Structure 1
């Protein structure tokens, strides 16, 4: 009999708090502050920081840093607004830095 394996998760690297599902990855080729980052459609168990305008590689965006809801480790940011028309698809999406998350499972 096969054992049920739950959805693959991504967790905070510091405390292992679940922060996103593998199925919510939109793209794996983003750049964060500390190297590679993934774009996710959803994130959970996080706390949002203050909104601020930031000049990123793809232009001006309004973003809010995201922190682990348990240990407050900075994990990435949420795109609140994109000012360049071609970047509007990022609005409401989350960047999680690869160095700040680890794979987990239920």
Structure 2
């Protein structure tokens, strides 16, 4: 997927590695430690760190931090497990912090 060329991509702010497609945004209404964040159904060119339980605004979740596969910059996290039924829709999805990604081909 590294060769995806087309409009509305998001890239790592540090190295410009393509990490997500605009069409994969599920929600722009997420909050991260350092400000706004977007929930994506998929991400590319990223690697996940170890899974850990973390208390977030919406409750306890098992998450894995997501890093750029090129430069290693931490970009957000992936929801591995949601303990509350109302939060199950997040499982397998990725949160990318807005200030860590830049728009490409807009």
TM range (shorter): over 0.9
In the TM superposition, residue 7 of structure 1 has moved relative to its aligned partner by 2.7
- Residue ranges of structure 1 left out of the alignment (5+ in a row): none
**Normalization by structure 2: what TM-score?**
0.93
Q: Which residue of 1 aligns with 2:66?
A: 66
In the TM superposition, residue 33 of structure 1 has moved relative to its aligned partner by 1.7
Q: Which residue of 2 aligns with 1:99?
A: 99
> Within 5 A, what are the aligned runs for 1:71-90?
71-90=71-90
What RMSD, in angstroms, separates the aligned Cα atoms of the two structures? Answer: 1.4
**Secondary structure of 1:14's partner?**
coil
Say which one has the larger Rg.
1
Q: Which residue of 2 aligns with 1:32?
A: 32
In the TM superposition, residue 40 of structure 1 has moved relative to its aligned partner by 0.1
**Secondary structure of 1:37's partner?**
strand
Report the number of matched residues. Answer: 102
Greater than 6 Å deviation, 4+ residue runs: none
Q: Which residue of 1 aligns with 2:43?
A: 43
**Distance across 1 between alignment mates of 2:6 and 2:93:** 24
**Distance across 1 between alignment mates of 2:47 and 2:33:** 18
- Residue ranges of structure 2 left out of the alignment (5+ in a row): none
**Distance across 2 between alignment mates of 1:6 and 1:79:** 27
**Normalization by structure 1: what TM-score?**
0.93
**Distance across 1 between alignment mates of 2:14 and 2:33:** 17
